[in-house]
């Protein structure tokens, strides 16, 4: 069996504002570049004193956005021969488990957690399923925005997701 693809098979990533549900976290100037097979974004956004674009990872499972590279060129070089840190950005171990269990992505899909980590979901095979990427991004972004300020362990009795 071949190794799974690192990135989601999407052709419409540049249509519309893919980051709209996550703008509250990534800011207005972030530009999406890649969507991983595990439903996370690599994006460019201004950073540092000179506000040059740096590469960030938006981890939709954890609800976190963090710097991964100072330049797009350095990022591409690391992706050409991923080291341990780069494979962790791709969630490659879990991706391989999903692939080994016969879970494959169709055009326009990424893997999405049934219960995201930011509300107690587990980082395990049974918690992930192929999902249309826009549904994943919309639902996870809106859900995280609703719970981001709650203390850990707060019971959640309902959520409100709207389709944009």
The 10s digit of each residue's pLDDT in 118-157 is 888 899 999 999 999 999 999 999 999 988 988 877 887 7
How many C-beta atoms lie closer than 10 Å to residue 152's C-beta? 6
* Tokens at 161, concatenated: 């997701």
> What pLDDT, on the 0 to 100 scale, is given for residue 164?
56
Quote the pLDDT of residue 129: 96
Instruction: Determine the pLDDT at residue 1.
Output: 52
Looking at residue 151, what is its pLDDT?
A: 83
pTM of the model: 0.90
Length of the chain, please? 164
What pLDDT is attached to residue 119?
A: 86
CA distances for 68 relative to 16, 45, 65, 104, 118, angstroms: 25, 11, 9, 27, 20
> Is 30 strand, coil or helix?
coil
Domain borders along the chain are 20-147
The pLDDT > 90 percentage for the chain reads 72
Predicted local confidence at residue 3, as pLDDT: 67
What pLDDT shows up at residue 161?
Answer: 66
pLDDT of res. 54: 95
The position carrying tokens 């956004």 is: 45
Flag residues of the chain having pLDDT under 50: none
């Amino acid at each position: 069996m071949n190794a799974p693809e690192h990135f989601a098979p999407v052709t419409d990533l540049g249509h519309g504002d893919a980051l709209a549900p996550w703008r509250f976290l990534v800011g207005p100037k972030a530009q999406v570049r890649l969507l991983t097979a595990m439903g996370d974004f690599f994006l460019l956004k201004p950073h540092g004193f000179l506000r040059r674009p740096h590469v960030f990872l938006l981890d939709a499972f954890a609800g976190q956005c963090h710097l991964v590279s100072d330049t797009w060129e350095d990022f591409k070089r690391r992706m050409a021969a991923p080291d341990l840190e780069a494979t962790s950005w791709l969630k490659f171990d879990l991706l391989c488990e999903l692939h080994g269990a016969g879970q494959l992505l169709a055009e326009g899909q990424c893997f999405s957690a049934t219960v995201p980590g930011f509300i107690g979901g587990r980082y395990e095979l049974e918690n992930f399923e192929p999902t249309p990427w826009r549904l994943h991004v919309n639902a996870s972004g809106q859900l995280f925005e609703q719970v981001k300020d709650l203390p850990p362990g707060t019971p959640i009795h309902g959520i409100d997701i709207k389709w944009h």
